[in-house]
Amino acid sequence: RTVYLNGEYLPEAEAKVSIFDRGFVMADGVYEVTSVLGGKLLDFPGHLKRLARSLSELQMGNPLSDDEWLAIHRKLVELNAIDEGIIYLQVTRGNAGDRDFAFPAEDTPPTVVLFTQSKPGLAANPQAKTGLRVISVPDLRWSRRDIKTVQLLYPSLAKMEAKHRGVDDAWLVEDGFVTEGTSNNTYIVKDGKIITRQLSQDILHGITRASLLRYAAEAQMQIEERPFTIEEAQAADEAFFTSASAFVLPVVEIDGAKVGNGSAGPVATRLRELYLEESLKSAI
């Protein structure tokens, strides 16, 4: 695999980063994941916009222009012959020399890393038909979940808890309400209405979420942005989640209780089709 590191395209084994990098010792960095279908980037402007916002919230400069980011993404797709898959992008505050809580000098260059992961069959994921099972766990993350930082230890622990309990993922709960999934935004459907938590610092502002809600509104579907509980989700007609790498996937069981009739519902199925169709139209 060929990867990108600070201006160079390198074989992955040659891409090396300092042990003093702030990303390594402090989780001081941000990332984006963009999906690739048919060799094209989905929702790319949205991902670049959120990247810029995450960087700015952490008082980091954006090291590259939008055109430069696009060129690197395209080059990696080409060099690695990616038809279906994802591109991971990470910017950290760079090599600080000595470990120090205070930021390094302003002129310290950030570390920029991008790599691809080929995922043949991403669009034809059989889980879109079978659905996924989730458990709920307390949301113990920090309070700025709207910033897409590489600080992913708690979501990783929650995912492992789900695995140990024999299910697919965990939904995070705070003050009695679902915030989001370990790496996705969460939704329920009741009487045809799509219900999802409103944007705030409590959740990541999903790019897939934004596009999907726009497509759903254009298709005259009803949407309500508000928090919901696990009990309400268990009693809903359908549940599902969205992320750049999963698109839209149904959830058929929550904490051992079947949602609806326990299989992928019509709304989630339609929304997945709608998302794939519409986002491919604007893929670049």
Q: If you search the block for the tokens 């992913």, which residue do you land on?
A: 152
What residues from 50 to 79 belong to the interface with ligand PLP (CB under 6 A)?
Answer: none
Q: How far apart (Å, rounded) are the C-alpha atoms in residues 181 and 192?
A: 22
Alpha helices, DSSP H only, in the chain?
22-26, 44-57, 66-79, 127-130, 153-164, 207-218, 230-234, 266-281
Site for ligand PLP contains 195 (CB under 6 A): no
When the beta carbons of 96 and 137 are compared against ligand PLP, the nearer one is: 137
Site for ligand PLP contains 186 (CB under 6 A): no
Among 92, 136, 184, 269, binds ligand PLP (CB under 6 A): 184
Contact criterion met (CB below 8 Å) for 192 and 267: yes
Site for ligand PLP contains 244 (CB under 6 A): yes
Strand residues in 48-184 grouped as ranges (E): 85-92, 111-118, 132-138, 169-174, 177-181
DSSP state of 62: -
Site for ligand PLP contains 269 (CB under 6 A): no
Site for ligand PLP contains 34 (CB under 6 A): no
Site for ligand PLP contains 209 (CB under 6 A): yes
How far, in Å, are 14, 112, 206, 267 from residue 32 at the CA level? 22, 12, 11, 28
SS3 state of residue 246: coil
Q: Which two structure tokens, joined as six digits, stand for 232?
A: 């309400």
Part in contact with ligand PLP (CB under 6 A); list of ranges 2-10, 78-86, 87-95, 203-211: 203-211
Among 136, 243, 269, 279, binds ligand PLP (CB under 6 A): 243
Q: Which two structure tokens, joined as six digits, stand for 248?
A: 């839209």
Site for ligand PLP contains 206 (CB under 6 A): yes
Site for ligand PLP contains 149 (CB under 6 A): no
When the beta carbons of 4 and 171 are compared against ligand PLP, the nearer one is: 171
| Beta carbon of residue 98, minimum distance to ligand PLP (angstroms, whole number) | 31
| Beta carbon of residue 274, minimum distance to ligand PLP (angstroms, whole number) | 15
Sign of the torsion angle spanned by Cα atoms 259, 264, 265, 271: positive
Site for ligand PLP contains 207 (CB under 6 A): yes
Q: How far apart (Å, rounded) are the C-alpha atoms in residues 161 and 158?
A: 5
Among 3, 122, 204, 230, binds ligand PLP (CB under 6 A): 204
SS3 state of residue 13: helix
What residues from 89 to 148 belong to the interface with ligand PLP (CB under 6 A)?
Answer: none
Site for ligand PLP contains 178 (CB under 6 A): no
| Beta carbon of residue 204, minimum distance to ligand PLP (angstroms, whole number) | 4
Helix 207-218, helix 44-57: angle, nearest 10: 130
Catalytic residue selected from 129, 148, 163, 190: 148
Any idea what the Cα angle at residue 248 is, between residues 242 and 252, rounded to 5°?
A: 95
Part in contact with ligand PLP (CB under 6 A); list of ranges 79-87, 112-120, 239-247, 265-273: 239-247
Q: Catalytic annotation on 148? A: yes
Contact criterion met (CB below 8 Å) for 249 and 133: no
Among 21, 168, 180, 202, binds ligand PLP (CB under 6 A): 180
**Residues designated catalytic:** 148
Q: What residues make contact with ligand PLP under the rule CB under 6 A?
A: 33, 180, 183-185, 204, 206-209, 242-244
